[in-house]
Amino acid sequence: MTPAKHNDIAINGDGAVALAWKQINPDVCAAYPITPQTIIVEKFAEYVANGEVDSEYVCVESEHSALTLCTTSCSAGARTFTATASQGLAYMWEMLPITSSMRVPLIMAVANRAVSGPININNDHSDAMAARDTGWLSLFSENVQEAYDLSIIAPRIAEHHEVQLPCLVNLDGFILTHAIERMSPLEDDVVKRFVGEFKPLYPLLDVDNPISHNLMDGPLYYFPHKYQTVLAMDKALEVAKQVLAEFKSISGREYKVVEEYRCDDAEIVAVVLGSAFGTMKEAVDRLRDEGVKAGVMMPRLFRPWPIADIAKALKGKKQVMVMDRHMVPGSYGAMYAEVAATLIEEGGDIPMMHNYIYGLGGADTMVSDFMAAYKDVIEGRAKRVNYLGVDE
Amino acid sequence: MSAITLKDLNQIPVRLASGHRLCAGCAESIIARQIMMGTTGEIVVTAATGCFEVSTTIFPYTSWHTPYIHTAFGNGAAGGAGVETAYKSLKRQGKIDKDIRFVTFAGDGATYDIGLQSLSGAMERGHEMLYVCFNNEAYMNTGIQRSSATSMGASTTTSWSGSKSYGNKNFPKDLTKIVAMHGVPFVAQSAPHAWRDMVSKAKKAFECGGPSFINTISPCPRGWRFPSNETISISKLAVETCVWPLYEVEYGTDFTMSPESLRIAEGKVEKKPVTDWIASQGRFKHLEEERWEPVVEEIQKGIDQRWEHLIKLCKL
């Protein structure tokens, strides 16, 4: 396939996600309003109202019902998507591991927002991190273009018959959801061909072959059944790499499960998720101008955690700083702990590790803040866990 | 609608196999079978977590000969709504051609309490699905804890009778009317001893073209403390004492008393006193103590008030 014609538009992140789903044309969408996600489902409802999609759209009475309805709809054999944020994702939590253990490949956009309390509508990753161990695939976007592209990529990974897991597509609240950026959408037919028809396994509505979904497991079966999700996650890493390569062929845009920026010869590398990756690239450029051998990387695929790719990228580095946009009172940031564990994989000398908690509840973190963090680490001023911008 | 005969019902395929693990004397499987006899067509079943769900689907076994799905406790209605929405979408797009009916089964804890919001949402949005509540008046699956459907005076494991307590303090919430007031096409109360009434209500529900709700009393030998061979007679007594009147409501406005309760309302059959009901079950045993006489009077008064109100609503 040749790269699609580019026809750039100005659009915010929520609008870009809605546009992707208009082109995918799902059978069902059920959602509940919550800032900063709401624009996605408002815009999608407009597509429904104007007959631009074939979807059934359900205005549910809560996020718990949103995810329940989407889970059974997808189990029934309908391609299904939803979107949420913060408290909404928290309210769905009971259903998150049920959806994944039922192997339901639905897609959910998460407009990452701080979790209460105190109540705060602005960006951090505390919602996505609270969902990280629930068996969902999880992808992070750096900018509006990526939020759009990953929305199109996600169903291909999730629906793969050897994966069959639900997927979160994360985009930073306000920073991406509400910021208007330049973006190159794909042509409708290109998206349609790429995503393809939904081919559900064991759909409930196949009444000639009745199946019972989500039975009760005793101790003999629960563990081995849960283990199947581990195997599916392992497969998802391989599938994600294939799908990203295929996406490059239709879009000309290259994505990797772990994005690296100036890491090859770097002595100090930061690991970060989401829109701050862009800010940190700028910080790296400026530090390089000053002669500092800095780099930054982003695990675009956060679940499954690409252990080998991350371990390889960080091997031999002197210092690693892990940037967590959420906090774990009483312990390290979650990604810090995972990076630390990953560093054991390659053996040899382990880099000096530091953890930065930054940008909670929409706290601005500027290029200069990140530069200062790099320098504090290099010059030995950093503690093991640092709260960037907080007067400790 | 033609008369429902046992001979006809015998022709309807069995969707719930025997050999499930519900207790001896449990009314739930009896009710489920009667409900599913309300249609000869295809059915997809949704269940909320509870006795019924657990007992019919312990891996690697399933009692279901028809598609079945369960997700969690407080979301049976949303689960049913999801399947129905998928059906609506796929049918409209020509991706499936079968005619399918949808039924959700849930207990009173899953319906009156934790799943009330989910139920209200599904009813209000107009999903074409039947929701059936097995009302055994407590959380039986977790071991007889009080719910908002529990009778006043019942001793449960979280509302014990004791030296200073007569058991549950409150009258059950009138959920049937709460759902009826959503204005949905069909709502009814039924009881498993009145099988013809139950099947006829299920038929109406499946054919009403919108959301429907059937609340059934579901006598529970374990939780109510009666011998397991008395389930059907206890069900009958619930109607005879007007503890559980049988009626139906169309579009939230048209109330109709069902035959058994109608005969009581018309004075053709005597209304039995609540003391008969109390004497029939161990959960009320303490109420026979003299000191709780005023409580028994209050229970009778509450039942009478609700019964008189229902008679007015039915314009009798």
- pLDDT score of A5: 55
Query: Which residue in the set A56, A72, A210 is minimally distant from B88, CB to CB?
Result: A56
Q: Is the pLDDT of residue B33 over 80?
A: yes
Q: How far apart are CA B165 and CA A276, in angstroms?
A: 61
Instruction: Check whether residue A299 and residue A199 sit in a common domain.
Output: no
- Interchain contact, B86 vs A80, CB within 8 Å: yes
- Interchain contact, B82 vs A221, CB within 8 Å: no
Instruction: Name the stretches of chain A with pLDDT < 70.
Output: 1-6
Q: List residues of chain A with CB under 8 Å from any CB of chain B.
A: 27-28, 30, 54-56, 58-62, 64-65, 68-78, 80, 94-95, 98, 102, 204-207, 210-218, 221, 225
* Residue range B121-138, pLDDT digits in tens: 999 999 999 999 999 999
> Distance (Å) from the C-alpha of residue B299 to the closest C-alpha of chain A?
35
Residue entry with tokens 């693990």: B21
**Assigned domain for A2 exists:** no
- Interchain contact, A204 vs B92, CB within 8 Å: no
- pLDDT score of A357: 98
Q: How confident is the model at residue B3 (pLDDT cuts 50, 70, 90)?
A: confident
Domain termination site, one of A251, A285, A313:
A251
Instruction: Check whether residue A157 and residue A282 sit in a common domain.
Output: no
- Other CB atoms within a 10 A radius of the CB of residue B77 amount to 33
Instruction: Check whether residue A182 and residue A61 sit in a common domain.
Output: yes
| CATH fold for domain B6-313 | Rossmann fold (3.40.50)
Instruction: Check whether residue A153 and residue A173 sit in a common domain.
Output: yes
Query: Residue B155 in contact with residue B161, Cβ under 8 Å?
Result: yes
- pLDDT score of A6: 60
Query: Which residue in the set B69, B70, B72 is minimally distant from A94, CB to CB?
Result: B72
Count of structural domains, chain A = 2
Instruction: Check whether residue A311 and residue A205 sit in a common domain.
Output: no
The contacts found for A254-258 with CB under 8 angstroms, 24 or more apart, are A255/A146, A255/A149, A255/A153, A255/A300, A256/A300, A256/A309, A257/A299, A257/A300, A257/A301, A257/A306, A257/A309, A258/A297, A258/A298, A258/A299, A258/A300, A258/A301, A258/A306, A258/A309, A258/A310, A258/A313
- Interchain contact, B44 vs A205, CB within 8 Å: yes
**Assigned domain for A53 exists:** yes
Work out the percent of chain B whose per-residue pLDDT is above 90. Answer: 98
Q: Is the pLDDT of residue B263 over 90?
A: yes
Query: Which residue in the set A56, A64, A214 is minimally distant from B85, CB to CB?
Result: A56
Query: Residue B62 in contact with residue B111, Cβ under 8 Å?
Result: no
CATH number of the domain at A141, please: 3.40.50.970
Structure tokens at A49: 């109202």
Instruction: Check whether residue A297 and residue A368 sit in a common domain.
Output: yes
Instruction: Check whether residue A228 and residue A351 sit in a common domain.
Output: no
Q: How many CB pairs under 8 A join A and B?
A: 164
- pLDDT score of A114: 98
Q: What angle is formed at CA B44 by the lines to CA B43 and CA B46, rounded to 5 degrees?
A: 135
Instruction: Check whether residue A230 and residue A278 sit in a common domain.
Output: no
CATH number of the domain at A371, please: 3.40.50.920
Cα-trace Rg, chain A: 21
Query: Which residues in chain A are contacts of B60 at CB distance < 8 A?
Result: 215, 221
Q: Is the pLDDT of residue B91 over 60?
A: yes
Query: Which residue in the set B54, B68, B71 is minimally distant from A68, CB to CB?
Result: B71
The candidate with the shortest Cα–Cα distance to B55, out of B14, B10, B102, B105, is B105
Q: How confident is the model at residue B299 (pLDDT cuts 50, 70, 90)?
A: very high
- Interchain contact, B82 vs A28, CB within 8 Å: yes
The candidate with the shortest Cα–Cα distance to A102, out of B93, B52, B59, B133, is B59
Query: Which residue in the set B58, B85, B117 is minimally distant from A62, CB to CB?
Result: B117
Q: How far apart are CA A136 and CA A139, in angstroms?
A: 10
Domain termination site, one of A187, A222, A251:
A251
Q: Is the pLDDT of residue B2 over 80?
A: no
Instruction: Check whether residue A167 and residue A217 sit in a common domain.
Output: yes
Instruction: Check whether residue A71 and residue A118 sit in a common domain.
Output: yes
- pLDDT score of A392: 81
Bridge partners (DSSP) of residue B189 are B215, B247
Average pLDDT over residues B24-43: 97
Instruction: Check whether residue A83 and residue A48 sit in a common domain.
Output: yes
Q: Is the pLDDT of residue B192 over 60?
A: yes
- Answering whether pTM is above 0.80, one says yes
> Distance (Å) from the C-alpha of residue A287 to the closest C-alpha of chain B?
52
Query: Which positions ≥6 away from A158 have C-beta within 8 Å?
Result: A105, A106, A107, A137, A164, A165, A166, A167
Residue A314 belongs to domain spanning = 258-387
* Residue range A38-80, pLDDT digits in tens: 999 999 999 999 999 999 999 999 999 999 999 999 999 999 9
Predicted-assembly ipTM surpassing the 0.85 threshold: yes
Query: Residue B13 in contact with residue B209, Cβ under 8 Å?
Result: no
Average pLDDT over residues B218-234: 98
Least confident of A254-263, A298-307, B6-15, B237-246: B6-15
Instruction: Check whether residue A203 and residue A336 sit in a common domain.
Output: no
- pLDDT score of A218: 96
